[in-house]
Amino acid sequence: MTELRIAFTLNGEPCEAQTAAHRTLLEVLRARGAVDVKEGCGEGVCGTCTVLLDGEPVSSCLVLAARAQGRDLMTVRGLGDAGAPHPLQSAFVAHGAAQCGFCTPGMLLTAYALLRDRPRASRAEIRRAIAGNLCRCTGYTKIIDAIAACAEGAARG
């Protein structure tokens, strides 16, 4: 079994990991304590394990950890924290968009990438963007409302 040492940036901090060549980014991140990255289907269809790799949403269960070499990774912890939440995090709370919370990290990161590129995204664009993130609790309405509130705020501001 081939062992690799990879170096990357995780939520703005330099990071290194020793891992087997066949390990996924999800496995390495969780082993490093990034439990905010959830494991859902393990097949890349639920969006639960979404992280931003060089700013783009990816299913970390499908990406080999070696692909992170020299790259920038962001998990939901990179958005904000309890003392200074990101506006999307505040909107999710205000709109009741985070129920069990399992899909929330992936939803937030997907929404963040969308609004970064399309700050005034329409509800239809929001629906398309989060189509790869499954939620069993909210029925999506509250999630879309929260993201749309941020987009509307950008349109006003």
Average pLDDT (34-58) is 96
Give burial (CB, 10 Å; 0-12/13-18/19+) of 113. Answer: middle
User: Taking the mean position of all CA atoms in its chain, how far away is CA 59?
Assistant: 9
Average pLDDT (7-20) is 97
Going by pLDDT thresholds of 50, 70 and 90, the confidence category of residue 10 is very high
Question: In this predicted model, what pLDDT tens digit does every residue of 107-152 receive, in sequence order?
Answer: 999 999 999 999 999 999 999 999 999 998 878 999 999 999 999 8
Question: In this predicted model, what pLDDT tens digit does every residue of 60-99 receive, in sequence order?
Answer: 999 999 999 999 999 999 999 889 999 999 999 999 998 8
Task: Answer whether 21's CB lies under 8 Å from 86's CB.
Answer: no
Say what the pTM is: 0.94
Q: Domains plus CATH for the chain?
A: 3-78 (3.10.20.30), 87-156 (1.10.150.120)
What's the pLDDT at 157?
Answer: 58
Task: Answer whether 53's CB lies under 8 Å from 36's CB.
Answer: no
Going by pLDDT thresholds of 50, 70 and 90, the confidence category of residue 156 is low
- Whole-number average pLDDT of the chain: 94
Return the minimum-mean-pLDDT range out of 4-8, 53-57, 110-114, 153-157.
Answer: 153-157
Q: Tell whether the model's pLDDT for residue 153 goes beyond 90.
A: no
What's the pLDDT at 78?
Answer: 96
From CA 62, how far away is CA 18, in angstroms rounded? 18
